[in-house]
Amino acid sequence: MKAEPKEAMMNSFSPTSQSATSYVDAQNNQVRADGTTFAYRELGPLGGIPLVLLNHWGAVLDNFDPRIVDGLARTHRVIAIDYRGIGSSGGIAPVTVGEMARDTIALIRAMGFDQVDLLGFSLGGFVAQDVALKAPDLVRRLILTGTGPAGGQGIDRVGAKSWPLMLKGLVTMRDPKTYLFFPPTANGRQAAKAFLKRLKERKAGRDKGPTPRALLRQLKAIKAWGQQAPQDLTRLHMPVLIANGDNDIMVPTALSHDMARCIPNAQLVIYQDAGHGGIFQYHTDFVIKALEFLAQ
């Protein structure tokens, strides 16, 4: 399949445009919000409350798991975004989660939505929490995966934990996510291989990769989140689904339990023999649980 010219693929937001039927074929689009052009893809049925996806450190549109996106889009309008300064979005990557949350709020409002559901993975979970606290009326339901609260113990060491495993990826010629997202077990290695294969399914119209500057600026935001004062999670009154693996080495699993205890209306799912990417390892079960949660 021949790649289309970028200009033909990047369109202004149109709430009446037809969504794609699979994430690997979803069109690259853009929307202008608060002076910045944000890249996004969407699919699923139009109408209803949209589900906005917020991804991990250094992630671009091609890092969303197509099995999860396609599964959720069976019954929901799903919108995956690039943060400011990442992928095909314009601007400079923020160095605080608060700025990223304000960007997300501006983007959602620029799209004309009065209310959305949010699904945040890792850094995206930090952003999703902050969005829900800053604009509680904007968020109907919240899904937090592989993530933790502001001031959570160990979050400020994400970089220190990641660099050696990223170097290991270079030495072994494997994608670092093999080591960062999955446990060093037979099941973990098999899941990592399958996940990485899924991320390569899209052949045409792929997103730009993150720049070193953007990676470092986002890492500053993560470190600052881990060092800032805890937020009052009892203020999150919307239903919240929390999911993680039982051995998350990036954002410690204990923090998922902490959030579940603090948030008044929270459900907790912990996947066994799984790590930071537990929702990717158990993507079929996660989609089922997420759809049940969103339908309640």
Q: Which range marks the domain in which residue 206 is found?
A: 6-295
How many angstroms separate the CA atoms of 272 and 274, rounded?
A: 5
* 276 DSSP 8-state letter: T
Q: Report whether 57 contacts 123 (CB < 8 A).
A: yes
- Evaluate whether residue 26 is within a structural domain: yes
> How many domains does the structure of the chain reveal?
1
Structure tokens, 296: 């309640």
What pLDDT is stored for residue 101 in this prediction? 98
How many angstroms separate the CA atoms of 171 and 200, rounded?
A: 21
CATH number assigned to the domain comprising residue 251: 3.40.50.1820
**pLDDT tens string for the chain (296 positions)?**
333 333 333 344 444 344 568 999 999 999 999 999 999 999 999 989 999 999 999 999 999 999 999 999 999 999 999 999 999 999 999 999 999 999 999 999 999 999 999 999 999 999 999 999 999 999 999 999 999 999 999 999 999 999 998 899 999 989 999 999 999 999 999 999 999 999 999 999 999 999 999 999 999 999 999 999 999 999 999 999 999 999 999 999 999 999 999 999 999 999 999 999 999 999 999 999 999 999 98
Structure tokens, 62: 């091609």
- Evaluate whether residue 191 is within a structural domain: yes
Q: What single string gives the DSSP state of each residue in 131-195?
A: HHHH-GGGEEEEEEES---TT-TTGGGHHHHHHHHHHHHHHHTS-THHHHTS-SSHHHHHHHHHH
Burial class of residue 47, CB neighbours in 10 A (0-12, 13-18, 19+) = exposed
What pLDDT is stored for residue 47 in this prediction? 87
β-strands 29-33, 36-43 pairing: antiparallel
What pLDDT is stored for residue 20 in this prediction? 65
Q: Report whether 115 contacts 139 (CB < 8 A).
A: yes
What pLDDT is stored for residue 21 in this prediction? 82
Phi, psi angles (nearest 5°) of residue 280: -80, -40
What pLDDT is stored for residue 19 in this prediction? 52
How many CB atoms sit inside 10 A of residue 154's CB?
A: 17
- Evaluate whether residue 89 is within a structural domain: yes
- Evaluate whether residue 1 is within a structural domain: no
- Evaluate whether residue 237 is within a structural domain: yes
β-strands 116-121, 139-145 pairing: parallel
Task: Please state the pTM of the whole predicted model.
Answer: 0.93
